[in-house]
C-alpha cells in the first residue's frame, strides 16, 4: 500500500518535471516555430476549407442556385465586363490626373504611407478569455512578428507569432493588449486596454487629471511603445465614467472595427 | 487491435471537438460564451482510461492548442495535464454511474482549469484582471459544459466502459476493496 502511494507520488512528480522541461525547451524561438509549422500543416488545410464553406453558406445566397440561372447571369456579366473595361481605361486616365493634383495639394490617402499585405481570418481562439485570431499570411508573404494589423475602419492588433503560411494576431480587444493613444481634440494621452466584457469596447485608463474628455471624440494611436505607428484610428469615446478619486476615472472606447464581422485585414510592413 | 481502434476513435473525437469548437461554437454561444469541450474530453479519458493515457492525451491536446493559438507553450498544456490528474483521482474516489456526480466533476474541473489558465495568462501575458467579468463568463461556461455533458454523457458512457474494460480489465473491482 505504502509502496503504491509512493509510486503514484513519484509518477506525479516526474510528470510535473517533464512538463516544466517541455515548457522551457519548447519556448525557445526556433523549436516553437518548427512545431507550429507541423501543427499548422496538419490542421490548416481542413480549417481553410471549413472557413471557405462557412463563408459561402453564411454570406452568399447564390451558392445553391441552378445552372440555367448561372448561364444567364454569366452572359449578362460578360456584357457588363466589356463595358466596365472601357470605363476602367477612362478611369485610369482620370486617376493619373487626380494623383498629380493630389500631389500638388499635398494630400495623402489615409493609410497611403504604409505598405500593406492583405489577408483574411481563418481561425479564432477557442478560449473565452483570449481574443487572438489567425490569418492566412505568414513568413512566405513577408509577415514578421510585431507588425501592425489594420482593417478598413481602423486598428485590429499586432502579430505575435508567425509560421510559414499563417500568423497569430493579438487583437486590441484582448485583455493582454495595451495601446498608447491620443485623443484627437486636445491631444491628451491615454492607455487603452481590452476587456473581457465586450468585443467592441476598450477601457481607456491613466487619464491625466487635467485632461478634458469629450464624448464622441476620436482616439488614435500615439506611436509610443514601438509596435503601432502613429495616427491609426482606434475608435471613439463612448462613455466617460467618473469616480470619487479623479485619478481612477476611465472612459469606454467603442472600437472602429467591428470584430464580430471582421474577415479581411491588412498587415503593415515595417519598412 | 482493440486498443488501436480505441485510440483511433479518441483521436478522431479530438479533431471533431477542435473543429466544432473553432467553427460551430464560435457562433453557437450563450451570451457570447463558448463551452470548453476539451475539458470534458480530458475528464472522460481520465475517468475511463489509464493514467498514462490521460496524461499523454492531455499533453498532446494542450501542446497543439498552445501552438495554434498562444504565443508560448504552457497555458493549455499545464491546465489539461492537471485536469487529467484530477480526473484519475475522481475515478478512484467516485462512481461514474451517477449523472449528478459527473455534473459536479465537470463543474469542478472547468472551474479549476479556467482559474489555472487565467492565473497563468496573467503571469505570462500581463493580462488585465477583471474579477467580476471573469466570474460571470466562468459561471456561464460551467453551465454550458454541464448542459453539454447531460446531453452527451449517456451516449459516450458505453464507449467509456469499453475503454475501461480494455485498459483496466481485472483492476476495476479491486480498487473498491
Domains of chain B: 2-174 (1.10.1760)
A93 and A150 co-located in one domain: no
Residues of B in contact with A55 (CB under 8 A): none
Does A132 contact B at CB distance below 8 Å?
Answer: yes
pTM: 0.75
Nearest to A250 by CA among A187, A199, A201, A198: A201
The residues in B 17-46 lying below 8 A from A, measured between CB atoms, are: 18-19, 21-23, 25-26, 32-34, 36, 38
d(CA B48, CA B162) in angstroms, rounded, equals: 9
Does A48 contact B at CB distance below 8 Å?
Answer: no
Residues of B in contact with A11 (CB under 8 A): 51
pLDDT of residue A91: 86
Residue A51 in domain: yes
Residues of A in contact with B34 (CB under 8 A): 126, 128
- List the single best residue of B63, B79, B118, B127 to mutate versus A (max A Cβ within 10 A): B127
Q: What is the domain range of residue A147?
A: 116-172+262-268
Grid cell for residue A217: 471624440
Residues of B in contact with A194 (CB under 8 A): 128
d(CA A101, nearest CA chain B) in Å: 46
Domain total of chain A? 4
Residue A65 in domain: no
Tell me the three state secondary structure of residue A117. strand
The residues in B 71-90 lying below 8 A from A, measured between CB atoms, are: 71-74, 77-78, 81, 85
Say yes or no to pLDDT of A44 above 90. Answer: no
A90 and A30 co-located in one domain: no
With cut-offs at 50, 70 and 90, classify the pLDDT of residue B47.
very high
Q: Say how far residue B25 (Cα) sits from the centre of its chain.
A: 16
Residues of A in contact with B18 (CB under 8 A): 43, 126
Q: Give me chain A's average pLDDT, please.
A: 81
B106 touches B143 (CB < 8 A): no
Residue A205 in domain: yes
d(CA B114, nearest CA chain A) in Å: 9
A212 and A251 co-located in one domain: yes
A186 and A160 co-located in one domain: no
Nearest to A168 by CA among A128, A125, A198: A125
Last residue of a domain, one of A78, A105, A132: A105
Residue A155 in domain: yes
Does A47 contact B at CB distance below 8 Å?
Answer: yes
**Which DSSP string do the residues of A211-238 spell out, in sequence order?**
----TT-EEEE-STTSSSPTT-EEEEEE
Q: How many CA atoms lie within 13 A of B151 on its CB side?
A: 7
Q: What is the dihedral of CA A136, A142, A143, A146, to 10 degrees?
A: 180
SS (H, E, C) A122-174: EEECCCCCCCEEEECCCHHHCCCCCCEEECCCCEEEEEEEECCCCEEEEECCC
Does the structure's ipTM exceed the value 0.85?
A: no
With cut-offs at 50, 70 and 90, classify the pLDDT of residue B176.
low
With cut-offs at 50, 70 and 90, classify the pLDDT of residue B124.
confident
Nearest to A185 by CA among A155, A220, A229, A153: A220
Burial of A107 (0-12, 13-18, 19+ CB in 10 A): exposed
Grid cell for residue B77: 498544456
| pLDDT one-digit tens code per residue, A8-37 | 777 778 777 877 777 676 666 566 667 777
> CA-CA distances (angstroms) from residue A89 to A80, A98, A228?
15, 14, 37
Amino acid at each position: 500500500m505504502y509502496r503504491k502511494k509512493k509510486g503514484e507520488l513519484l509518477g506525479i512528480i516526474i510528470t510535473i518535471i517533464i512538463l516544466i522541461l517541455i515548457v522551457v525547451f519548447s519556448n525557445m524561438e526556433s523549436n516553437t516555430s518548427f512545431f507550429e509549422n507541423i501543427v499548422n500543416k496538419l490542421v490548416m488545410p481542413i480549417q481553410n476549407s471549413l472557413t471557405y464553406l462557412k463563408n459561402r453558406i453564411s454570406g452568399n445566397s447564390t451558392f445553391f442556385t441552378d445552372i440555367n440561372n448561372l448561364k444567364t447571369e454569366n452572359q449578362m456579366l460578360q456584357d457588363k465586363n466589356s463595358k466596365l473595361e472601357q470605363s476602367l481605361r477612362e478611369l485610369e486616365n482620370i486617376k493619373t490626373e487626380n494623383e498629380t493634383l493630389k500631389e500638388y495639394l499635398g494630400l495623402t490617402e489615409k493609410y497611403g504611407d504604409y505598405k500593406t499585405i492583405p489577408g483574411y481570418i481563418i481561425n479564432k481562439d477557442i478560449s473565452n478569455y483570449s481574443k487572438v485570431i489567425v490569418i492566412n499570411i505568414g513568413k512566405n508573404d513577408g509577415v514578421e512578428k510585431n507588425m501592425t494589423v489594420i482593417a478598413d475602419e481602423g486598428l485590429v492588433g499586432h502579430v505575435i507569432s508567425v509560421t510559414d503560411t499563417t500568423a497569430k494576431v493579438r487583437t486590441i480587444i484582448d485583455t493582454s493588449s495595451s495601446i498608447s493613444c491620443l485623443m484627437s481634440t486636445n491631444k491628451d494621452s491615454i492607455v487603452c486596454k481590452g476587456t473581457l466584457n465586450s468585443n467592441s469596447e476598450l477601457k481607456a485608463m491613466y487619464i491625466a487629471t487635467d485632461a478634458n474628455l469629450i464624448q464622441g471624440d476620436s482616439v488614435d494611436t500615439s506611436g509610443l511603445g514601438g509596435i503601432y505607428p502613429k495616427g491609426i484610428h482606434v475608435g471613439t469615446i463612448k462613455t466617460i465614467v467618473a469616480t470619487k478619486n479623479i485619478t481612477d476615472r476611465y472612459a469606454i472606447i467603442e472600437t472602429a472595427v467591428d470584430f464580430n464581422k471582421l474577415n479581411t485585414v491588412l498587415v503593415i510592413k515595417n519598412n | 487491435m482493440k486498443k488501436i481502434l480505441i485510440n483511433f476513435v479518441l483521436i478522431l473525437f479530438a479533431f471533431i471537438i477542435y473543429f466544432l469548437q473553432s467553427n460551430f461554437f464560435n457562433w453557437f454561444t450563450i451570451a457570447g460564451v463558448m463551452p470548453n469541450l476539451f475539458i470534458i474530453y480530458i475528464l472522460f479519458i481520465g475517468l475511463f482510461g489509464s493514467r498514462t493515457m490521460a496524461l499523454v492525451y492531455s499533453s498532446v491536446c494542450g501542446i497543439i492548442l498552445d501552438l495554434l493559438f498562444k504565443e508560448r507553450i504552457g497555458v493549455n498544456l499545464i491546465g489539461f495535464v492537471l485536469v487529467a490528474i484530477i480526473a484519475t483521482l475522481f475515478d478512484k474516489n467516485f462512481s461514474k454511474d451517477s449523472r449528478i456526480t459527473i455534473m459536479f466533476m465537470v463543474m469542478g474541473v472547468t472551474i479549476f482549469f479556467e482559474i489555472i489558465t487565467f492565473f497563468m495568462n496573467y503571469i505570462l501575458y500581463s493580462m488585465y484582471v477583471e474579477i467580476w467579468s471573469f466570474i460571470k463568463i466562468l459561471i456561464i461556461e460551467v453551465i454550458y459544459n454541464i448542459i453539454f455533458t447531460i446531453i452527451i454523457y449517456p451516449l459516450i458512457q458505453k464507449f467509456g466502459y469499453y475503454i475501461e474494460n480494455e485498459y483496466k480489465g481485472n483492476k476495476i473491482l479491486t480498487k473498491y476493496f
